A and B are shown apart, each in its own frame.
Chain A
Amino acid sequence: MLDRLLEALQQSRADFAEIRYERAWITTVTWRERRLEVATEAVDAGGTVRCLDQGRGWGVASVADGDDLAARLSVAHELSLATRPEVPAALAPVPVRDGHDAPDLGGDVRAVPLHEKRRLVEALNGEMLAFDRRIVDTRLAYRDVVAEHWYANSEGTRMHGVRPDVQLAALAVARDGGTVERALASFGARAGWLAAQGHEERFRSAARQAVSLLGAQPVRSGTYPVLLDPRLAAALAHEAVGHLCEADAAAEPGGRLAPLGARMGSPLVTIGDDGSVPGLRGTRPFDDEGTPTGNTLLLQNGVTVGHLHTRETAARDRARPTGSARAPSWRHAPLARLSNVYVANGSGSRADLLRDVRLGVYACDVIDSRRDGDRITFTAGHAYMIRDGELAELVKHVVIAGRVSDLLGAVDRVAGDFRWHDGGGGCTRRGQGPVAVADGAPHVRLERAEIRGVAP
């Protein structure tokens, strides 16, 4: 395949040309309550060619299975010549590479029969249904993907590799009279079938959480000291800082890019994105332009110090490409995207952060997050009141809302108990489908934050 790509590139007359091609084997099994909804296998194959001429913008054309690559490169070149942007696109230099990515597939999912995957999903769903008679609805979705990909460009870079991904995601709904509550749980890994085993307790916990929430009182709206668990703190880093540091964000109408040197939060807050951490879902050795991934500091001691770059945004900003050009599938051109976002470790334990809180909220897990401009809203999966330095009663319907700068500025303690979250899901942007990401953080305390009690 790489030889085919290189041969076609030699015929292109564009100043720069690249071909990305992918072939993915996808299995989906979804169980809802006591019934199988889906058990199916699919093959998705195709590619994208991009051309860029000096003084122009990108011309992009898709490649279907069996298409004449040289002809599609010609179409992309014509499209590039049809553009006349006020600020022409250019590419920051990266060394020419010959890369190969062959991670351990951890039990290649392609060798596992569909009925075995069905049995796994049925058993995990059964764990939730059997937990309590008040569990009235469940949903458990399994999805695995093995994507083989090839990349070559006219500068000589060429890459080939395999990207595995396996995910489990569950919803448990509990009902008691007129009260209905839900809880979510998920698992995701850049691995295979072996990684999908042994998650019974994770999904039993979701059922337990939904049932527990039936008896919890809604939180009373107000302003409190708020302790974020690592999951919620990581989600805050992803939404509040990560997306504002994607260097092409300002290209969207109404989009915002955090200016370098601007203070966004408390001096205790350091946030970064590292696409090279072994084993995480957002990890790849190279991005979709052939640039090696690595660790990029975004916020250091509360001040913006870095952006996530593609080769194009790096050239525009005279910065270094950060290996952040990512596309969810062959259908899309790469954008500057997050990979594995983290809040850097501080010191102390959760108990240390609780100790001097007289009345506060310990917010755990996240079931929804959204940002509009510089305002951000999180819905916690569940929460506990903090009374006199101790965890007290379970409360529900906890929504944390505020301006990004106010929330990050209110951080007064960061614990030393960092952990990566191994959940599933992904990150969507600009109408593109989800790319696999991970996030991690320690416990983080906000001196004060607005809490609204809103039923989900």
Chain B
Amino acid sequence: MIARLLERAAALAEAADVRVATDDTLILTLADDAVTSAATLAEHGTSLRVRHEGRVGRAATSTRDTEGLVERALASAAAGEPLPLLLPGPSPLPPVLVHDAAAAALGVDALADLGRRLASRVRRDGRRVTVHLERSAGSVRIGNTRGVDAGYDASIVAVELSVVRTADGVLATRHVASVDVPDDLVLDALAADVERQLEWARSGAAAPTAPGAVLLMPPAVRGLLAPVLDALVIRGEPSPMSPLVEGLDEPILHPSLTLRDDPWLELRPGSRAIDDDGVTTWPQLLIENGAVRHCAVDLETGAAVHRPATGHGRRTTFGRPHAGFSNLLLAPGEATLADLLAAVGDGLLVERLAGVSGIGRSGAFHLPVALGYRVQGGEVRGRVEGAVLAGNVFDAFAAVGGVGRERDWVGSCFLPPLLVDRLSVAGD
């Protein structure tokens, strides 16, 4: 189908590329060991981009019938802006494994069994255990009129464990995703993390009343990282809201922070050898000792601002092409969790923040703490309810007082806990 579309587009336009993605997802929910709902979603999407008379246009469809797609893309180009878009040519791809046959073949029974094995690790009287499982098997193929014809198969197994302690309503939750089927070690770690959350929330405690040190666990770090990552994506002119400038010698964030983007990690869902623009990927240092070293640029933005694409192109079937990251790795420090807790003194430990999607590009935030604990004398004293964390992400990441040595995956980010020396906390 790609060859046919490209042939037709080439006859009418100067250049074209096509991305075809398929996905077959099986979704199960288990409540206290029983499968309560089961669903399967199969998708097929084709997006076509053309350059015609120096202008770029796009069209997409979720149908297998691509009749009219080229004409719609040409109409889009006619309405579009002049853009010197140069599509990439073919190049050798690195071997990046993002497909596991056993994971892709997981059926209802095997997926439910995985969920039950996980649930059995945390099942106790007085708890409601929910496991949400998704198995995805799909493929991406990219072709263009310069000869790129590449693609890959991909599989993902995602597991979310949620435990509600009925006596006090505390919700502990954790999510993992991998290319292959999670083994017992992964399930043990997931269960242990949820147990730790429940244990720390065994009693209640008052929120600190004055600004002070805050220890952010990896899920909270991921939430606050969003505006930093946003600032590392070139969209055209620099946003007046963003304090980050690429290539500064002076650190903007704390010198203990080093962030890499690695699309070549084996068996990680974020990995890929080729991006959705047809550009070969490579690992890149984004922030080194607090200073920005590289930013992400997709092909169209690169053409607009005269910069080379960085292999970060992302395209969903209907979405606009943009730049996005693969696997983000924040370098670990030396501190153990006990070291970090001792350094907090009297303060707050934040497990999860609510509403992180609303943090704007300026980095200012004012967010409810979905799960957090009071720390006193280097020990967790109990769960804090109703606390609100406020400040600015860039200020917070410039005031890092310690970096943990143990990292956890949160989505496609591998993150340590971070101690922030001073943040504003408001309680009830």
B85 within 8 A of A: no
Smallest Cβ-Cβ distance to B318: which chain A residue: A42
B positions within 8 Å CB-CB of A: 31-32, 34-44, 57-65, 72, 75-76, 78-81, 108-109, 112, 128, 130, 162-164, 169, 171, 173, 236-237, 239-241, 304, 317-318, 320, 354-355, 358, 360, 362, 364, 366-368, 370, 386, 388, 390, 392, 426, 428
How far is it, in angstroms, between the C-alpha of A44 and the C-alpha of B44 when the chains are bound?
A: 10
Contact pattern, A 263-284, Cβ under 8 Å of B = 1, otherwise 0: 0000000000000000000000
B57 A40 Cβ-Cβ under 8 A: yes
Which residues of A lie under 8 Å from residue B63 when comparing CB positions?
43, 45, 64-66
A58 within 8 A of B: yes
A32 B364 Cβ-Cβ under 8 A: no
A37 B360 Cβ-Cβ under 8 A: no
B35 A82 Cβ-Cβ under 8 A: yes
Given contacts A30-B320, A254-B164, A377-B366, are A370 and B358 in contact (CB under 8 A)? yes
Which residues of A lie under 8 Å from residue B364 when comparing CB positions?
454-456
Smallest Cβ-Cβ distance to A66: which chain B residue: B64
In the complex, how many angstroms separate the beta carbon of B79 from the nearest chain A beta carbon? 4
With contacts A42-B72, A84-B34 known, what are 11 further pairs, Cβ within 8 A?
Answer: A41-B76, A45-B61, A57-B35, A66-B64, A80-B38, A85-B37, A113-B75, A331-B43, A375-B386, A377-B368, A379-B366
A351 within 8 A of B: no
B79 A115 Cβ-Cβ under 8 A: yes
Contact pattern, A 23-47, Cβ under 8 Å of B = 1, otherwise 0: 0001011101101111111111110
Cross-chain contact of A40 among B31, B64, B76 (Cβ < 8 A) = B76
How far is it, in angstroms, between the C-alpha of A113 and the C-alpha of B317 when the chains are bound?
A: 22
Given contacts A64-B42, A80-B38, are A399 and B81 in contact (CB under 8 A)? no
In the complex, how many angstroms separate the beta carbon of B244 from the nearest chain A beta carbon? 15
Cross-chain contact of B38 among A43, A83, A372 (Cβ < 8 A) = A83
How far is it, in angstroms, between the C-alpha of A454 and the C-alpha of B365 when the chains are bound?
A: 8
Cross-chain contact of A454 among B62, B239, B366 (Cβ < 8 A) = B366
Given contacts A180-B240, A399-B366, A452-B426, are A85 and B173 in contact (CB under 8 A)? no
A57 B162 Cβ-Cβ under 8 A: no
A65 B65 Cβ-Cβ under 8 A: yes
A64 B35 Cβ-Cβ under 8 A: no
How far is it, in angstroms, between the C-alpha of A117 and the C-alpha of B41 when the chains are bound?
A: 33
B304 A253 Cβ-Cβ under 8 A: no
5 tightest A-B CB contacts, nearest first:
A253-B162, A370-B355, A60-B39, A254-B171, A372-B354
In the complex, how many angstroms separate the beta carbon of A253 from the nearest chain B beta carbon? 4
Contact pattern, A 56-76, Cβ under 8 Å of B = 1, otherwise 0: 011111101110000000010
Which residues of B lie under 8 Å from residue A368 when comparing CB positions?
358
A108 within 8 A of B: no
B36 A57 Cβ-Cβ under 8 A: yes
A positions within 8 Å CB-CB of B: 26, 28-30, 32-33, 35-46, 57-62, 64-66, 75, 79-80, 82-86, 113-115, 117-118, 136-137, 173, 175, 180, 182, 253-254, 331, 333, 368, 370-372, 375, 377, 379, 399, 401, 403, 452, 454-456
B108 A370 Cβ-Cβ under 8 A: no
A83 B40 Cβ-Cβ under 8 A: no
Question: Quick one: which of B36, B65, B237, B364 has the most chain A CB within 10 A?
Answer: B36
In the complex, how many angstroms separate the beta carbon of A175 from the nearest chain B beta carbon? 5
A84 B35 Cβ-Cβ under 8 A: yes
Given contacts A35-B236, A44-B61, are A60 and B35 in contact (CB under 8 A)? no
How far is it, in angstroms, between the C-alpha of A42 and the C-alpha of B68 when the chains are bound?
A: 10
Which residues of A lie under 8 Å from residue B75 when comparing CB positions?
41, 113-114
In the complex, how many angstroms separate the beta carbon of A155 from the nearest chain B beta carbon? 21
How far is it, in angstroms, between the C-alpha of A131 and the C-alpha of B140 when the chains are bound?
A: 45
Cross-chain contact of A64 among B64, B354, B366, B367 (Cβ < 8 A) = B64
Which residues of A lie under 8 Å from residue B370 when comparing CB positions?
372
Smallest Cβ-Cβ distance to A39: which chain B residue: B79
B37 A60 Cβ-Cβ under 8 A: yes
Which residues of B lie under 8 Å from residue A118 when comparing CB positions?
79
How far is it, in angstroms, between the C-alpha of A26 and the C-alpha of B370 when the chains are bound?
A: 37
B318 A26 Cβ-Cβ under 8 A: yes
Given contacts A253-B164, A372-B354, are A85 and B368 in contact (CB under 8 A)? no
How far is it, in angstroms, between the C-alpha of A157 and the C-alpha of B42 when the chains are bound?
A: 26
How far is it, in angstroms, between the C-alpha of A57 and the C-alpha of B78 when the chains are bound?
A: 50
Cross-chain contact of B81 among A36, A57, A175, A333 (Cβ < 8 A) = A36
A41 B366 Cβ-Cβ under 8 A: no
In the complex, how many angstroms separate the beta carbon of A199 from the nearest chain B beta carbon? 20
Which residues of B lie under 8 Å from residue A173 when comparing CB positions?
240-241
Cross-chain contact of B76 among A39, A66, A375 (Cβ < 8 A) = A39
A180 B362 Cβ-Cβ under 8 A: yes
B173 A115 Cβ-Cβ under 8 A: no
How far is it, in angstroms, between the C-alpha of A115 and the C-alpha of B39 when the chains are bound?
A: 41
B38 A85 Cβ-Cβ under 8 A: no
Given contacts A36-B81, A39-B76, are A59 and B39 in contact (CB under 8 A)? yes
A57 B38 Cβ-Cβ under 8 A: yes
Question: Quick one: which of A59, A61, A82, A118 has the most chain B CB within 10 A?
Answer: A82
A455 B362 Cβ-Cβ under 8 A: yes
A60 B368 Cβ-Cβ under 8 A: no
A41 B59 Cβ-Cβ under 8 A: yes
B320 A37 Cβ-Cβ under 8 A: yes
How far is it, in angstroms, between the C-alpha of A173 and the C-alpha of B388 when the chains are bound?
A: 27
Question: Quick one: which of A57, A113, A403 has the most chain B CB within 10 A?
Answer: A57
How far is it, in angstroms, between the C-alpha of A414 and the C-alpha of B160 when the chains are bound?
A: 43
Which residues of A lie under 8 Å from residue B58 when comparing CB positions?
38, 40
How far is it, in angstroms, between the C-alpha of A137 and the C-alpha of B362 when the chains are bound?
A: 14
Cross-chain contact of B62 among A29, A44, A82, A399 (Cβ < 8 A) = A44
Give 8 CB contacts A-B under 8 Å: A35-B81, A41-B59, A60-B37, A62-B43, A331-B43, A371-B354, A372-B354, A403-B386
Smallest Cβ-Cβ distance to A42: which chain B residue: B60
Given contacts A39-B57, A180-B362, A370-B354, are A85 and B318 in contact (CB under 8 A)? no
A175 B39 Cβ-Cβ under 8 A: no
Which residues of B lie under 8 Å from residue A45 when comparing CB positions?
61-63
How far is it, in angstroms, between the C-alpha of A30 and the C-alpha of B36 when the chains are bound?
A: 41
Smallest Cβ-Cβ distance to B171: which chain A residue: A254
How far is it, in angstroms, between the C-alpha of A80 and the C-alpha of B39 when the chains are bound?
A: 9
Smallest Cβ-Cβ distance to A23: which chain B residue: B63
Cross-chain contact of A79 among B40, B59, B366 (Cβ < 8 A) = B40
Cross-chain contact of B320 among A38, A137, A372, A377 (Cβ < 8 A) = A38
Cross-chain contact of A86 among B31, B108, B171 (Cβ < 8 A) = B31
Cross-chain contact of B360 among A84, A375, A456 (Cβ < 8 A) = A456
In the complex, how many angstroms separate the beta carbon of A456 from the nearest chain B beta carbon? 6
In the complex, how many angstroms separate the beta carbon of A246 from the nearest chain B beta carbon? 17
B37 A57 Cβ-Cβ under 8 A: yes
Which residues of B lie under 8 Å from residue A64 when comparing CB positions?
42-44, 62-64
Given contacts A42-B318, A79-B40, are A452 and B62 in contact (CB under 8 A)? no
B240 A79 Cβ-Cβ under 8 A: no
